[in-house]
Amino acid sequence: MHSVCLLIAALSIGLERPDVEYQVFQFPANQIPRIDGDADDWSIVPESYTIGTKELRETVIGLGDKHDPDNLDVQVNVGWVKGLNRLYFLYEAQDNYWDFARGDLHNDIFEIVVDGDLSGGPLIRQMHPNPKLRDKLDTHFQFHGVHAQNYHIFTPAEGKDWAMVWGAQPWIKDLPYANAACKYNFKHGESGKLVLEFFVTPFDYAPPNPARSVPSKLVEDKKIGLSWAVLDYDDEQAERYSGFWNLSHKTTMYGNASDLVAFRLMPLEKRFRKPVEADWSFQVINRVNRDVAFRDRSYGDITSWRWEFGDGTSSTERHPTHHYKKPGEFIVTLHVEGPKGKAKLAKIWDVTLP
């Protein structure tokens, strides 16, 4: 199975629109968006993060590429929270005709594709690198949506699940991996505004069995592949959508992760931080000898560090390695100081040695 992922990575040709890079806003840990369809949680996100319809292109031949905001106008914001491997979305759309009367794919849709580790390459069986495997049902389970994921999100979803996962892992659209809520006050065929709020979990490896899955690790400054398309139906009787507006500017973004767009996971903005914040981590590098490596992870302009290791000894190194002579449960404290202030952080018994 891993050889398949390596093959996909080898076939990666990079991302579409190399001249642009969008930003994913980092929410503070105490302001995580609540999935309730209310956009108030997103009021802290600067307007510069918003991606509107003007960034999209109609790439399906015959549908035209003239943006008419009176027909359809959307704006999207994407966020993340440090320590959670989730991407949060706020989708706001004004449409002159909302189509959602049927129980099949004939529905206004917000379609997103996520490639959390930039592995690139095709992600649906119809685009498998080996044409002989494209019609094999086994390919669906071994390949489709495994290294990058496609979500067809129904806007709105009445009488059916909120999304269709195009792949062999429908479990990724359920809690704890995803959740969604939306608000609207229109009926089928009417005009109006829809607010959709949801989160998804990107996966480096998402097989049919969730126990074997590997979520993508989201960290500051990481670049991921992401794109979306808006499928707009304006006629209940027409079998084909009247619009396929996509951020990639390439139609095949729906099934090839190399056709996605670059998004960068941004650091927490300064207005949410104190001038100086103490933080640190540790790793036991030799349990028998009780050797522990400490790493400063503090924030701000810091000029001095003082570690208290909890055994009566200390250090002024930034990243010290300490040998504990005796076993025990230790309270380790890091004191930091700089021109704009000082701070400390103690962790109680995190460091416990035999």
Handedness of CA 314, 320, 326, 331 (dihedral sign): positive
Contact 74, 91 (CB under 8 A): yes
What confidence score (pLDDT) does residue 14 get? Answer: 66
Hey, what are 259's tokens? 């056709």
In this prediction, residue 8 carries a pLDDT of 39
320 Cβ neighbours under 8 A, 6+ residues apart? 293, 294, 307
Instruction: Provide the H-helix boundaries in 28-144.
Output: 137-142
Same domain, residue pair 210 and 282: no
Cα 73–Cα 78–Cα 82 angle in degrees, nearest 5? 170
Q: Are residues 307 and 260 in the same domain?
A: no
Q: What is the pTM of this model?
A: 0.90
Looking up tokens 């979990």 gives 201
Range(s) of the domain holding residue 252: 2-265
Cα separation of 61 and 250, whole Å?
A: 11
Q: What pLDDT score was predicted for residue 239?
A: 77
Distance in angstroms (rounded) separating the CA atoms of residues 148 and 150: 7
Q: Cβ distance 334 to 307 under 8 Å? A: yes
Nearest to 302 by CA among 284, 289, 287, 316: 316
pLDDT of residue 1: 39
- Find out whether 11 and 5 touch, Cβ atoms under 8 Å: no
CATH number at residue 325: 2.60.40.10
Tokens in use for 281?
């981590």
Q: Return the pLDDT at 240.
A: 84
CATH number where 125 lies: 2.60.40.1190
- The number of distinct structural domains making up the chain is 2
On whether both 217 and 337 belong to a single domain, the answer is no
Residues 323 and 203 in one domain: no
Question: Is residue 251 helix, strand or coil?
Answer: helix
* Other Cβ atoms within 10 Å of 64 Cβ, number: 11
Q: What is the pLDDT along the chain (354 residues), one digit of tens a residue?
A: 333 343 333 344 469 999 999 999 999 999 999 999 999 999 999 999 999 999 999 988 666 777 788 899 999 999 999 999 999 999 999 999 999 999 999 999 999 999 999 999 999 999 999 999 999 999 999 999 999 999 999 999 999 999 999 999 999 999 999 999 999 999 999 999 999 999 999 999 999 999 999 999 999 999 999 999 999 999 877 778 888 999 999 999 999 999 999 999 999 999 999 999 999 999 999 999 999 999 999 999 999 999 999 999 999 999 999 999 999 999 999 999 999 999 999 999 999 999
The answer to whether residues 230 and 72 touch, using CB atoms and an 8 Å cutoff, is yes
Residue 350: CB atoms within 10 Å: 13
What pLDDT, on a 0 to 100 scale, did the predictor assign at position 165? 98
Residue 127 φ then ψ, to 5°? -115, 15
| CB distance 343 to 324 below 8 Å | no
- Do residue 168 and residue 237 come from a single domain? yes
Examine the domain organization and report whether 147 and 60 are in the same domain: yes
Give the end of a domain, one of 265, 282, 301: 265
